[in-house]
Amino acid sequence: MREDLPAPIGRDKKEPPMNANELREKALSMLLPLIRYAGEMTLSPKDTTPGDSRFCSHFNGHPYFNPGKQWPMAPSGKPYDFIFQVVNDGTIGLPQKYAVFQFFYDWHSDPWDTNTEGWLVKTYRDFDPTSDIMIESPLTKDADRKYCDIAFHSIRMLPDWDSIESYSPKVMDICERISEYNPREVYNQLMKELKITTDVESCCGGYPQWIQGDNIGEQKMLFQIGSEKQAGIYWGDAGRVYLFSSVKKSKKGKKTVFHFVMQCH
C-alpha cells in the first residue's frame, strides 16, 4: 500500500506526493554529485625519528626547509611547535601548488580560530628531495610526542548532518519529511547506502566532521587533524583542528588565505 507523505507548509502544491522510498531515491540522486574523495590518514609510530623524515609525510619529525629559511617564531616570541607535514605525491587530493604542506602551532598562545595568533601554515611550491638542509627544533622534546609516518587511503565523504543544509537544503528537507523526529538517522542511512566513510579523525580533503557544529560554511577543507594518540597530539578534550583555504581578491591580484578552526568535546 502506498503511503504518501504530506508536503510541509510552504511547499509547491503542484509537486506530486511522494512516498518514503521515492523520497529516499530522490535524496540519493541529489547526494551523488556532492561526494568528495579524501585521503584518510593512517599513522605508523616509530621509536626514533628517521634522518630523512623531512622528505616524507609525518608527524613530529623534521620539517622540510628550502635554502635561506629559519625555524618559524610565533608572535608570543616562542618557537612554533611543528605538528605535521605532507609531501604531495599528487594522489591525495591536495592542490598541486602545494608540493609540501606544513602546520605549526604555539601551545603557549593556544589559539582556537583564524583570528587568534599562534598557528601557522607553511607551504612550498618547489621540493628538492636531495636537499641536505635540516633544521632542528629549538624546543625541548616532549616525551609524550612520538614520530609517526603518515599513509593515505582513499575514502568517500559527504557533509555531516550539521553541514548538509549549507550544501543541499533540499536533502535536509527530504530527511525531515521522511522522519520528523529523527531526520539525522535517515541521513546516516543514506550515507551508509552510498558507502560514505564517517567518524574520520584525520584526513586530507573531503568534508569536516564537526564536533560542535558547522561554523565555516562552504569553504574548501584542506585538512582535518584529530587528537592522535599515537603521535601524542591532543587538541583540548579529544578535539580536532580544521584547516581551510579561500581566495582573497584585491587590487594586487588574488591571494590564498588559510583558515583555522579548533573544536573540542
Q: Please tell me whether residues 97 and 148 are part of one structural domain.
A: yes
pLDDT tens digits along 211-231: 988 767 667 899 999 999 999
Average pLDDT of span 180-193: 96
Instruction: Please indicate, yes or no, whether residues 125 and 173 belong to a single structural domain of this protein.
Output: no
3 state DSSP class of 253: strand
Flag whether 4 is in a domain: no
Alpha-carbon separation of residue 3 from 20, 22, 23, 181, 187 (angstroms): 8, 11, 12, 18, 20
Query: CA separation (Å) from 190 to 42, 108, 179, 185, 213?
Result: 26, 43, 13, 9, 20
Q: Are residues 95 and 129 in the same domain?
A: yes
Q: Which domain holds residue 30?
A: 20-36+157-193
Nearest in space to 105 (alpha carbons), one of 121, 93, 94? 121
Beta-strand ranges (E) seen in the chain are 36-45, 58-59, 81-87, 100-105, 119-124, 148-157, 203-204, 220-226, 240-250, 253-263
Domain boundary among 193, 216, 239: 193
Domain termination residue (choose one: 175, 193, 211)? 193
- Domain count along the chain: 2
Q: Would you place residue 140 in the very low, low, confident or very high pLDDT band (cuts 50, 70, 90)?
A: confident
User: Cell digits for 210?
Assistant: 564537526
Quick one: 117 and 182 in the same domain? no
Query: 89 near 104, Cβ under 8 Å?
Result: no
Per DSSP, what are the bridge partners of residue 19? 4
Of 193, 218, 239, the position where a domain reaches its end is 193
Q: What is the CATH number of the domain that holds 49?
A: 2.30.320.10
Is the same domain home to 175 and 65? no
The mean pLDDT value for 245-255 works out to 83
Indicate the pLDDT class of residue 253, thresholds 50, 70 and 90. Answer: confident
pLDDT above 90 (res 86): yes
Structure confidence at residue 244 as a pLDDT band (50, 70, 90): very high
Of 26-30, 204-208, 248-252, 260-264, the poorest mean pLDDT is in: 248-252
Looking at the fold, whether 65 and 76 belong to one and the same domain comes out as yes
Nearest alpha carbon to residue 94 among 131, 57, 63: 57
Q: CA–CA separation, 246 vs 177, rounded Å?
A: 34
